[in-house]
A and B are shown apart, each in its own frame.
Chain A
Amino acid sequence: MNCREVEELLGAYVLEALSEEESRAVATHLTTCPTCPNIESQLRAIVDVFPLTVPPLDPPPQVKERLLARIYTEEAARQPTRTLPMTSLASRSRRWRNALLAATLLVLFGLVGTLFAWNLVLNQRVAQLSAHAQPPVVYALRGLGANTAAHGQVLSYPSQHLMVLIIRDLPPLSGTQVYQGWLLHGQQTTSIGLFNVQQGIATLGVVGTVAGYDTAAVSLEAGPRATPSAPRGPVVALAKLTTT
């Protein structure tokens, strides 16, 4: 096929409306032509936006519930059966530690790739984190009282001076309410910031370490700003920052 013939078919090609034979011929031409791929990519960019032209419609919430139930069940079935002490995560499988490491690295890399407001110190620490890929120290974060369904992790990278708190299934916030993170040493509390909550997944990334602290906590505050000094609202989750 020559360029003229291909250009006449490119619209149908990106719509996937050609016969198999025509589609193969166009694809072959695109691999060697210096000009047609440009037109193809322009048309494809248009077609890629077609989904944004449809009327929006919310799926029923049970779709997500069924999906997550299936996935978490199947995933759990793959894991070795093991009973873990609540305060010690030293016996977690290597696979999960590597998974959490990879996740944290990618969370941070995803941010470095998209944000522009990071300070130099943090960028350097993230670079060190990626270069040496040291696994985090992981502490279980568990819901208290009526929030026993909530669970998550505190991921601490002591040599990189970074930590990430992730917790899911916290109750939805209302009004100006916020979830706030704290580190405790005995009765002494230090605020580490406000969680971002999306559909029950709360995340908080902090420059700092857990050294010198024995507990991490999440409290429900009136908001919209962080409560200074000590929680005023109920503590909804705790993590013991000890390993055996």
Chain B
Amino acid sequence: MQDFGHRKGSPNHPPPPFPFSVEEISDEALLYALAVGVLWSLEVLYQRYGRLLYSIAYRMIPDHQIAEDLLQETFVSVWQHAGSYTSQSGSVRTWLFAIIRHRAIDQLRKQRARADFQAPSIDDLVSDERLAAPDTWDEAWKSIQGKQVRNALQMLSSEQRMVIELAYFQGWTQSEIAEGYRLPLGTVKARMRLGMMRLKRLLEQMGGR
């Protein structure tokens, strides 16, 4: 009978193996495997990031059907373009965020092009309900970075948070914000600049980035 690994066992106690788990496979390795046709690696990526990506999609467009479609389209795109990922795109997680965010922004632009479009209210944009509640966090949300950024966002002025919210989660440019909310462009630029720099300072004080 063969021993497995360097650890010896007794006849009644087989030597323990050296197992590894799929959790320990890096995102990059999964993408590479997907690029050469290993489809189960997409399932692992979906398991890791499906919830997070769906949450982002729904946050940007609060419509379950649209969010589902965006999620599916994102992973189909990942499957089709896994070979195009490079480290210059950032981490795989960042790459995935970018794919679904850009798809959602495309969808939002189509909505904004409609004559009956109404810009989201300022109250909605700066509502604290849009920031995750602590008791619903899972491992990703419990990350120190996520917590610090959440706290820092809440410490911005409502005006600063509004323009950042519109830019990131709604895909608006500074000009579009100025026009949509009838604000001077200079005011929008200043709020965005000061808001982002304040975020940076707050996170540096918290010990983050």
Binding site for B on A (CB under 8 A): 8-12, 14-19, 42-60, 63-64, 66-68, 70-72, 75, 95-96, 98-100, 102-103, 106-107, 109-111, 113-115, 118-119, 121-122, 166, 168, 181, 183, 185, 188, 190-196, 198-201, 203-209, 211-213, 226, 228-229
Contact = CB atoms under 8 A, between A and B. Distances in A.
Given A15-B164, A201-B40, A55 B130 contact: yes
Contact of B174 (A12, A192, A228): A12
Contacts, number: 262
B71 A63 contact: yes
A16 B167 contact: yes
Contacts of A211: 2
Contacts of A96: 37
Contacts of B173: 17-19
Given A11-B195, A50-B168, A107-B25, A55 B18 contact: no
A111 B177 CA distance: 46
B85 interface: no
Interface centre among B44, B149, B203 (most CB of A within 10 A): B149
B131 A53 contact: yes
Q: How large is the interface on B (under 10, 10 to 19, 20 to 34, 35 or more residues)?
A: 35 or more
A212 B47 contact: no
B12 A49 contact: no
A183 B172 CA distance: 59
Given A17-B172, A17-B173, A66-B72, A56 B1 contact: no
19 contacts: A49-B146, A53-B131, A53-B149, A54-B56, A55-B129, A59-B50, A59-B67, A64-B43, A66-B72, A72-B39, A96-B37, A99-B37, A114-B24, A190-B14, A191-B14, A193-B16, A193-B18, A205-B19, A206-B4
Contacts of A121: 5-6
B26 A113 contact: yes
Contacts of A192: 4, 17
Contact of A196 (B22, B38, B41, B93): B22
Interface in B1-35: 1-6, 12-14, 16-26, 28-30, 32-33
B132 A56 contact: yes
A206 B3 CA distance: 11
A208 B5 contact: yes
Given A64-B46, A102-B32, 12 more contacts: A8-B193, A11-B196, A43-B200, A50-B168, A51-B97, A52-B140, A70-B72, A70-B76, A109-B29, A196-B19, A198-B22, A198-B44
Contacts of A60: 64, 68
Contacts of A203: 20-22
A106 B37 CA distance: 13
A59 B54 contact: yes
A185 B196 CA distance: 65
